């Protein structure tokens, strides 16, 4: 079990960084946003499937074995499916394998796009086979992109997504939904619906607009919940508003704050530093998530916690952002009340919308090379 958790931690840590990079480098420019949201859609479907599969566990204490067996199936399909995946044309061009890169572009983008794409790749990466160092993230323009990436994940977590998810079962219980799995299933379906809408809008409305709209929707949802808690309302009306606010928050998150954050960071990064910027950004993200689990499963003492060794290994592997939110969410609720904490989440959501408005560069309809050249200090073009 310990070795299994260790290997799963490696898989999660690697996949969360590599998959967005791979999709951004392989996908045609006009479909890059839509295809990038497949990560979020796949995650939502996986959560729904896992929750549905876990329903029998409420009556069968041995059902967890069946769930572990079932969890092996997606891994098998990934191993088989990756045998048919193409290499990234940008990576091939960087290695000087231009003929191989041209074949990939011809096959997946179409011959009509190949000439322009190859010229752009050559202008950026063909003559640069050196490896980027971590110190380059401190220099322009990479430090700006790394700051944006880390800030997006930081704001994403401190806007309260994990706190809302963990607290949602209590919200649903107030309206008579006592099954924690069923409540989580409602949340998962809402998340999936938001991801589907995002996939349709990503390459039409643009990343920046979706991100701003998403955080504004999250802020409105938080303040709706605060209103239902803080003002004297009929009990039924108050509970209905709380559930509505919770589902609206999840839907708004899936519309932009969830998928756009993972898509836009590799788009803004240069070919040289893309992997390192993504690694840094997801380090910020995982620092949050794992310590949330620490709070949820180890509320007493890590010495007496049966899953502490597993979590420690995942901490090392994933590098672990929702440190404060996860670790102190329940304590903050006890100290200030749910209304004040959710109002704080709403405030951070508004701050995130302002951040996106002022610092995010729109990448819709632009090739990775075009974006990179526009962000270069030597580029004459304007950063829009």
CATH number of domain containing 158: 1.20.1250.20
Q: Is 39's pLDDT higher than 60?
A: yes
Q: What is the CA radius of gyration of the chain?
A: 22
pTM for the predicted model, two decimal places: 0.76
- 295 or 355: which leads in pLDDT: 355
How far is C-alpha 97 from the chain's CA centre? Answer: 32
Q: How many helices (H) and strands (E) does the chain have?
A: 18, 0
Flag whether 238 is in a domain.
yes
Question: Residue 34 CB: number of other CB atoms within 10 A?
Answer: 18
- CB-hemisphere CA count at 13 Å for 58? 10
The token duo for 8 is 């799963």
Higher per-residue confidence, 269 vs 90 = 90
Pull the structure tokens for residue 252. Answer: 């708004």
- Per-residue pLDDT at 293: 42
Contact 250, 160 (CB under 8 A): no
Helix residue spans in 253-307 (DSSP H): 259-268, 274-297
Q: Has residue 160 been placed in a domain?
A: yes
What does the pLDDT look like over 151-172, one tens digit per residue? Answer: 887 888 788 887 787 677 766 7
Q: Name which residue leads in pLDDT, 128 or 322.
A: 128
If one counts every other C-beta atom within 10 angstroms of the C-beta of residue 375, the result is: 19
Is pLDDT at 330 greater than 70 in this prediction? no
Q: Is residue 42 part of a domain?
A: no
Judge whether 247 lies within some domain: yes
pLDDT bracket for residue 221 (50, 70, 90) = very high
Q: How many angstroms separate the CA atoms of 218 and 164, rounded?
A: 11
User: Is 239 inside a domain boundary?
Assistant: yes
Using CA of residue 270, residue 357, residue 204, residue 84, what is the dihedral sign?
positive
141 prior amide bond cis, ω within 30? yes
Of 48, 139, 131, 68, nearest to 95 by C-alpha is: 131
Question: Is 4 a member of any domain?
Answer: no
The range of the structural domain enclosing residue 217 comes to 134-300+312-363
Q: How many CB atoms lie within 10 A of CB 7?
A: 13
What pLDDT, on a 0 to 100 scale, did the predictor assign at position 91?
82
Structural domain count of the chain: 1
Distance in Å from the first CA to the final CA of the chain = 50
Whether residue 107 is contained in a domain is answered as no
Helix (H) or strand (E) holding 270: none
Q: Which pLDDT value is given to residue 218? A: 95
User: Could you read off the pLDDT of 66-77 as tens digits, one per residue?
Assistant: 888 888 888 888
- What's the whole-number average pLDDT of the chain? 76
d(CA 152, CA 264): 10
Domain membership of residue 31 (yes or no) is no
Give pLDDT tens digits for 235-269.
Answer: 778 788 888 999 999 999 999 998 888 888 888 77
């Amino acid at each position: 079990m310990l070795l299994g958790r260790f290997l799963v931690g490696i898989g999660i840590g690697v996949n969360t960084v590599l998959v967005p990079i791979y999709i951004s480098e392989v996908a045609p420019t006009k479909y890059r946003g839509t295809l990038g949201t497949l990560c979020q859609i796949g995650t939502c479907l996986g959560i729904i499937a896992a929750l549905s599969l876990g329903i029998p566990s409420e009556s069968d204490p041995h059902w967890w074995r069946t769930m572990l067996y079932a969890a092996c199936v997606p891994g098998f399909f990934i191993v088989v499916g990756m045998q048919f995946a193409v290499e990234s044309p940008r990576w091939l061009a960087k290695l000087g394998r231009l003929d191989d890169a041209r074949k990939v572009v011809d096959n997946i983008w179409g011959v009509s796009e190949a000439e322009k794409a190859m010229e752009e790749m050559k202008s950026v990466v063909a003559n640069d086979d050196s490896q980027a160092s971590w110190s380059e993230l401190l220099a322009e323009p990479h430090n700006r992109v790394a700051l944006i990436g880390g800030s997006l994940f930081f704001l994403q977590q401190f806007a309260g997504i994990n706190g809302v998810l963990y607290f949602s079962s209590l919200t649903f219980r107030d309206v008579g939904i006592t099954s924690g799995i069923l409540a989580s299933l409602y949340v998962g379906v809402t998340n999936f619906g938001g991801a589907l809408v995002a996939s349709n809008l990503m390459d039409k409305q643009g990343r920046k607009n979706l991100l701003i709209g998403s955080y504004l929707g999250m802020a409105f949802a938080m303040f709706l919940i605060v209103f239902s808690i803080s003002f004297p309302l009929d009990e039924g009306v108050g509970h209905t508003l709380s559930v509505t606010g919770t589902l609206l928050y999840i839907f708004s998150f899936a519309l932009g704050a969830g998928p756009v954050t993972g898509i836009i960071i590799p788009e803004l990064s240069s070919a040289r530093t893309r992997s390192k910027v993504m690694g840094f950004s997801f380090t910020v993200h995982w620092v949050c998530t794992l310590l949330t689990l620490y709070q949820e499963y180890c509320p007493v003492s890590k010495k007496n916690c049966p899953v502490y060794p597993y979590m420690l290994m995942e901490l090392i592997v994933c590098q672990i952002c929702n440190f404060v939110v996860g670790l102190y969410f329940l304590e903050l609720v006890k100290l200030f009340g749910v209304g004040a904490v959710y109002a704080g989440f709403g405030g951070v959501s508004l701050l995130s919308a302002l951040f996106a408005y002022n610092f995010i560069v729109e990448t819709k309809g632009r090739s990775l090379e075009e974006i990179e050249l526009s962000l270069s200090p030597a580029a004459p073009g304007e950063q829009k």
